[in-house]
Structure 1
Amino acid sequence: MLTCRLCGSPSLADVADLGATPPCEKFLTGEQLDEPETNYPLHLRVCTECWLAQLPPLITPEETFTEYAYFSSYSTSWVEHAERFVAGAVQRLALDGDSFVVEVASNDGYLLQHVVRRGIRCLGVEPSENVGQAARDRAVPTRTAFLDEETAGQVRAHDGPADLVVANNVYAHIPDVLGFTRGLRGLVADDGWVSIEVQHLLTLIERTQYDTIYHEHFQYYTVASAQRALATGGLRVVDVELLPTHGGSIRLWARPDEVAGEPSERMLDVLAREKTAGLHELAGYAEFGRRIATVRRELLGFLVQAAGEGRTVVGYGAPGKGNTLLNHCGIRPDLLAYTVDRNPYKHGRFTPGTRIPVLAPERIAEDRPDYVLVLPWNLREELTEQLSYVGQWGGRLVFPIPRLEVVDPVRMEVAR
């Protein structure tokens, strides 16, 4: 019997059943195309006791993150976002040369490089050896490890407690939420701060961002469920910022219970919004499945019509969310000839499940397709600018979520 990983309740209600897919970052080499792939159910449920939305832990973090295909620095806007965060944190917390900052799941040093440049002592804790090496190559101190209580104790004993612990886009990626949370508490000083960024379940539901449901994301947070999760490790959320990243995220500021104080007014406002949206009861999830079906029908209808008219459609980007969308919609190379990505690690490989070739971005200008399906739709502003050249031959950009839009990248207007 499935039980909630946060509170242990067996009361799990359906939110979205997306069938079964391979892990979204398991890109295939050419030699693997004649080999079978393992598919896992992709079924989101919500606990009706603590309201944590979650997937069963069918894959382990070790399977996904020991060698990882995602390098944060290939997103210009994400690096700029990290730089703004560091500048704001330095000012907010009065960090200086005597401070110590730890980032968990620090990837290729995209964020801590800005800490290093300010002369602040720091350490990345990154489980993937390949991306961790990229961080070390840019002079960002990085320890290859998964965060748990033991790792936290080792870091604290060797480097001291952290004035700031950063955990961006990782709190959803760990099945042992209780152990990981105790690890966060073990890293942070008794008067320190923990900053966590994670996609907001409120915007995921409201904007039908169902493609962000994939096996690497074991849970999906509201502020209310994040409060309950962090409380298990002796951390209390005291402030929340709403962010546009990943289609709508929350930045949680938490402190050890003993020094936390009262929550901010903006945190209380977000909690009230979640309650009004019905996310503290089943009513708020009722229409999600219907809206998912609409996204699928619209995208497939467009691609089938384009193929029937002899139009060429290619993709831009090969993100994890794109692989959820491609697999759920059953899109194959007959409807999407290929996709491109800035990350050379993915070049010459094929998307998991759908087996669509991943090529270098220059291929788009060479082939001059009629349509470019933008899979990382959350980077819409950045990518519309980057892909403006597609309009030179009359090409159009296609954004599939929250509703299908065909955009003229020259006039910046919706063509359909």
Structure 2
Amino acid sequence: MKCYICSSDNLTKFLDLGMHPPPLNFVTKEQFGIKDPVFPLELFFCNSCGLIQSGIAVNPNLMFIDYVYTSGISLAFKNHLESFAKHIFDVFNLNSNDLVIDVACNDGTLLSFFSNCGTKVLGVDPSSVAKTAMEKGVPIINNFFNESVAKEILSNNGKAKVITATNVFAHVKELDSFMKGIKLLLEDDGVFVSESQYLKHILEKLEYDTIYHEHLRYYGLKQLVKLFEMYEMELFDAEIIHAQGGSIRAYASLKGKYHVSDSVNKILKDEEEENLHSLETWKKFAEKVSENKETLLSLLLELKSQNKKIVGISAPGRSTTVLNYCNITSEILDYVTEKSNLKIGKYTPGTHIEVVDDEKLVEEQPDYGLLLSWHLADSIIPKIRKSGFKGKIIVGLPEPKIL
């Protein structure tokens, strides 16, 4: 195994979460043990460049073709994408002649907002969810993005003023082909904008539940700067944003096309001061992860011993990590509530807990609800209370607490 960025083989394993299924592989009862594969979920630290990466890359076809995540289902994230599109449109003075390409466009929510602003749009996405984008009138290439697809786009559509990649840049298995495709498609003054889970937030908030098989790499700004340099590109601006519980937005272009913002050096300095790229830092992180498992599971088992009814609230991809790592099964949670029709009626990956409609939470009023989208607690809990749920809410990370 080699580092995805610097190709060093000097890697150290510091975290082993056990065997896990793909995070959104929700199954029916008939598929138990058949369409339910598991793979080792381990993290490695590159002693050369500091990149943190997964130990294996699960076949993307197992995770992304029959996909159940849709960008537009969360109002908060939908609002984020609308704001993002308007921001990019204004900052880079886009017009009706400019092409915006969204890699892993999902249901086309972001591109719809760019289209409303007046630009030309094109989406690339391999999943079945992309059909929703097509129904919205968004032109789609139903495939994984790589250098070959980029050449096809160049021939048919020309170059792009803006290429976006929200919550996908860390997922890409064939990173070299991906980067070559981005560089090939950018106009001379074009911009590639990515949003990824930010390494510092994972550390500070103990977000080990964001570690799952879709994510192959966990970026700090230092690693992103190095990655773009390798392809004669330049990361010229960066900002820390609140999306998905805390992300880093990076702006890159062909080398020398834009002035490098002070924010880049500021974030790099901050990462250095926080020892973000130290193996010892991540060994301590691993110890805290183990402690969280023991504390959370003990709390849930104590409540069950008191004959309390506990359910899960929401089933994002990250919930698969917590449920499987902490051995939280249907013996602990009676069910998990959801609003996505693509998940309701199925069972959680690996742990096989039934997924039911959100309405059941209010109808049955269980004693406790374990909030599995805890990273969005500030916005979700008021909605849960407003809906009429009177039970207590458990937030499992970074430290278990009952609200």
* Normalised TM-score (structure 2): 0.97
The residue aligned with 2:70 is 71
**One-letter amino acid of the structure 2 residue matched with residue 158 of structure 1:** N
The residue aligned with 2:309 is 312
Task: State the 1:381 CA deviation.
Answer: 2.2
Give CA deviations for 1:305-360 in whole Å, capped at 9, x if unaligned: 11111111111111110000000000111111110111101111111110000111
Alpha-carbon distance in structure 2 between the residues aligned to 1:141 and 1:374: 37
The residue aligned with 1:269 is 266
Task: State the 1:36 CA deviation.
Answer: 7.2
Matches within 5 A, 1:193-208: 193-208=191-206
**One-letter amino acid of the structure 1 residue matched with residue 338 of structure 2:** D
Shift in alpha-carbon separation, 1:258–1:158, aligned structure 2, 3 A: farther
Task: State the 1:52 CA deviation.
Answer: 1.3
The residue aligned with 2:81 is 82
Task: State the 1:393 CA deviation.
Answer: 6.0
Conserved? CA contact 1:98–1:120, under 8 Å: yes
Alpha-carbon distance in structure 2 between the residues aligned to 1:43 and 1:19: 7
Report the aligned-residue RMSD: 1.5
Where does structure 1 differ by over 6 angstroms across 4 or more consecutive aligned residues? Answer: none
Shift in alpha-carbon separation, 1:77–1:36, aligned structure 2, 3 A: closer
Task: State the 1:34 CA deviation.
Answer: 5.4
Alpha-carbon distance in structure 2 between the residues aligned to 1:327 and 1:352: 8
The residue aligned with 2:340 is 343
Alpha-carbon distance in structure 1 between the residues aligned to 2:334 and 2:194: 38
Note if 1:299 corresponds to 2:271.
no
Give CA deviations for 1:217-263 in whole Å, capped at 9, x if unaligned: 011000001111222333210111101122211000111114144x2
Matches within 5 A, 1:244-255: 244-255=242-253
The residue aligned with 2:402 is 406
SS at match of 1:280: coil
Task: State the 1:389 CA deviation.
Answer: 3.8
Alpha-carbon distance in structure 1 between the residues aligned to 2:33 and 2:104: 33
Note if 1:376 corresponds to 2:379.
no
SS at match of 1:387: helix
The residue aligned with 1:95 is 94
**One-letter amino acid of the structure 1 residue matched with residue 103 of structure 2:** V
Decide which moves more: 348-357 or 172-181: 172-181
Q: For 1:241, which of 229, 239, 242 is the aligned residue?
A: 239
SS at match of 2:109: coil
Decide which moves more: 339-348 or 56-65: 56-65
Matches within 5 A, 1:64-213: 64-128=63-127, 130-213=128-211
Conserved? CA contact 1:346–1:358, under 8 Å: yes
Task: State the 1:405 CA deviation.
Answer: 2.2
Conserved? CA contact 2:238–2:248, under 8 Å: yes
Runs of at least 5 residues in structure 2 that lack an aligned partner in the other structure: none
Conserved? CA contact 1:6–1:178, under 8 Å: no
Task: State the 1:24 CA deviation.
Answer: 1.2
Conserved? CA contact 1:30–1:348, under 8 Å: no
Q: For 2:216, which of 215, 218, 235 is the aligned residue?
A: 218
* Normalised TM-score (structure 1): 0.94
Q: Percent identity?
A: 32
Alpha-carbon distance in structure 1 between the residues aligned to 2:278 and 2:378: 34
Shift in alpha-carbon separation, 1:393–1:161, aligned structure 2, 3 A: closer
Alpha-carbon distance in structure 1 between the residues aligned to 2:292 and 2:228: 34
**One-letter amino acid of the structure 2 residue matched with residue 28 of structure 1:** V
Conserved? CA contact 1:315–1:338, under 8 Å: yes
The number of residues matched between the two structures is 403
Alpha-carbon distance in structure 2 between the residues aligned to 1:291 and 1:145: 39
Alpha-carbon distance in structure 2 between the residues aligned to 1:382 and 1:318: 16
The residue aligned with 2:43 is 44
Alpha-carbon distance in structure 2 between the residues aligned to 1:259 and 1:117: 28
